[in-house]
Amino acid sequence: MLRVDLNQNFKRTVFSCAALSLLFLTGAPSAFAQSTELSGIAKERDANGNGVLERSEAGGPVAANFDTIDTDKNGTLDGAEIRAFFQGGPGPAPAGASAADGDGPVELSPQAKALDANSNGTLEKSEARGPVAANFETIDKDGSGALDGAELQAFFGGGASGRPSGPPANVIVDAVTEEAIGETTPVVGRFVARQSGPIAARIGGPVLEMNVDVGDRVAQGALLAVLDKQRLELERERYGALVTQQAANLAAARADLEKRQNELKRLEAIRKSAAFSQARYEDMVQDVAVQRGQVAETRAQLVQAETQSKQAERDLMDAEIRAPFPGVVSATHTEVGAYLSVGTAVVTLINDIDLDIEADVPTSRLSGLAAGSIVGVRLDDGTSTTARLRAIIPNENPRTRTQPVRFTPNLAGLGKTLADNQSVTVLIPVGDARTAVTVSKDAIIERNGRMSVFVVRDGAAAPTAVTVGDGTGDRFIVRSGLKAGDTVVIRGNEDLRPGQRLIIIDRNASPANGRKKG
């Protein structure tokens, strides 16, 4: 019995709170629906008893929206203004609103006057800023290319067609589009690193340094390990000295050749004199030929010594084992002090940046793929992207009747760390593509089993019933209710009211009305 009484008391309390909130918002039902008299709850906050609420007396949502509710901008709120805001009904005409009755133009507000650079009493598009600039064409009801005070008040006062509906709402919108879609079949694939494998030593020698460990990410050219260089440095010095020696030998051989050639020339000069010796001349010709051979041999020895010196320099460079491509060290195969032979693996490196996707696609589905085809890709966590067909490998598995297919994924902006052999689902097209009207899934509002969206019409929210079909990525196929080119609200649509004015903000800005959908 006690539990029943407590429940009844709780219900009475909730009902009383709800009634008081409604009374505060609306006032008495009909006695003063259009009166400026404050409601009973509002009167309790009227500390000075002057029949209106000053800013210091307001609280809760009234304080938070004081400037919006104060339509006549006199710094106080009467009952009509409060009811107009919370009920969406007509409010008192603000000062200067006689333009609606044809008495003349409405004067710009002080804020708008500050933007009126040419002081002509209206705002041109070049003078508009912020939400006024973003919604200029919507506010400009008469299409004059300039905004007067009445147009600005009508827009920021909320509502459509002269029926205010609360303050305007900040929203993000998206277009209803017509695009090519088609049925797909999922095929499980995997990421494949295009560059991976063991990095081996090119020369033999003991390991002096190991600069990486498993899991380290390295850039191309990063130093992985260092072999003992002392023997290699000695080899370089020895071959360097040999080059110097052979260069000196070549210089001496060339000088001896030049000397013999000069003697041969002198003999040829006295060929017709009695002092000429034919035997001496023939011996000198032979000596010149021999010396030319000596020069050629010495030159070859010098080239050989230079080659050996370059090889020693190269061996010294190869003592530093560097990464041939960027990636992550997945394994180490040696340690400091171990002796490496030529070809011994030092580390295993995986390039997790340059990745392909490989999927075993049924041969019967290959007809839906052509060179350069774009397919959808879905990661295990639900993230979606696309991939371009790179190659179909002509090697069918007779047991599964599949062929390996390579795709190049679009990983730009994905913001995820991927791994070699990580599984991924590839959506292979089936049959011919068709066109369909699609709408963003974020635009759909489902209530009581019915789906609707808010369409932007004349700068206001127009609720529209829709029926949708299958999903395609982050969009639904539209069966009825929308057409290509319509603009729908995708952020800030949770609390919209029919006819409420809309201020369209950039989708990269902060969340509409401070909220995110979903």
Structure token pair of residue 351: 């390039």
Q: What pLDDT does 105 receive? A: 59
Q: Which of 344, 343, 334 is nearest to 209 (CA)?
A: 334
SS (H, E, C) 33-51: CCCCCCCHHHHHHCCCCCC
495-508 CB burial, b ≥16 within 10 A, e <16: ebeebbbbbbbeee
Structural domains for the chain = 2-164 (no CATH), 171-180+435-514 (2.40.420.20), 183-194+350-430 (2.40.30.170), 203-347 (1.10.287)
Scan for tokens 């295993």, then name that residue. Answer: 348
Q: Which of 206, 226, 196 is nearest to 324 (CA)?
A: 196
pLDDT < 70 stretches in the chain: 1-35, 86-105, 156-166, 182, 431-433, 473, 507-518
**Strand, coil or helix: 116:** coil
Cβ neighbours, 10 Å, residue 86 = 19
What CA–CA distance (Å, rounded) separates 173 from 28? Answer: 38
Answer for the pair 324, 220: CB distance below 8 angstroms, yes or no. yes
Q: What pLDDT does 380 receive? A: 86
**Strand, coil or helix: 110:** helix
Summarize the chain as % helix, strand, coil (round to 5). Answer: 35, 30, 35
What CA–CA distance (Å, rounded) separates 75 from 65? Answer: 12
Q: What pLDDT does 518 receive? A: 37
What CA–CA distance (Å, rounded) separates 465 from 322? Answer: 64
Structure token pair of residue 44: 């309790």
Q: What pLDDT does 508 receive? A: 57
SS (H, E, C) 257-292: HHHHHHHHHHHHHCCCCCCCCHHHHHHHHHHHHHHH
Answer for the pair 438, 472: CB distance below 8 angstroms, yes or no. yes
Neighbouring residues of 377: CB distance < 8 A, sequence distance ≥ 6? 357, 384, 385, 386, 387, 407, 409, 424, 425, 426, 427
Q: What pLDDT does 511 receive? A: 45
SS (H, E, C) 484-507: CCCEEEEECCCCCCCCCEEEECCC
Answer for the pair 219, 351: CB distance below 8 angstroms, yes or no. no
**Strand, coil or helix: 513:** helix
What CA–CA distance (Å, rounded) separates 70 from 58? Answer: 12
Neighbouring residues of 240: CB distance < 8 A, sequence distance ≥ 6? 309, 312
Scan for tokens 């006689």, then name that residue. Answer: 98
What CA–CA distance (Å, rounded) separates 381 from 424? Answer: 10
The helix-helix angle for 2-26 and 79-87 (nearest 10°) equals: 110
Find how far residue 9's CA is from the centre of its chain.
56
H or E, element range at 362: strand 355-362
What CA–CA distance (Å, rounded) separates 491 from 503? Answer: 12
Scan for tokens 């969406």, then name that residue. Answer: 88
**What would you measure as the largest C-alpha separation in the chain, in angstroms?**
158
Question: Do the strands 217-218 and 502-504 form a parallel or antiparallel pair, or are they unpaired?
Answer: unpaired
Answer for the pair 77, 52: CB distance below 8 angstroms, yes or no. yes
Q: What pLDDT does 96 receive? A: 39
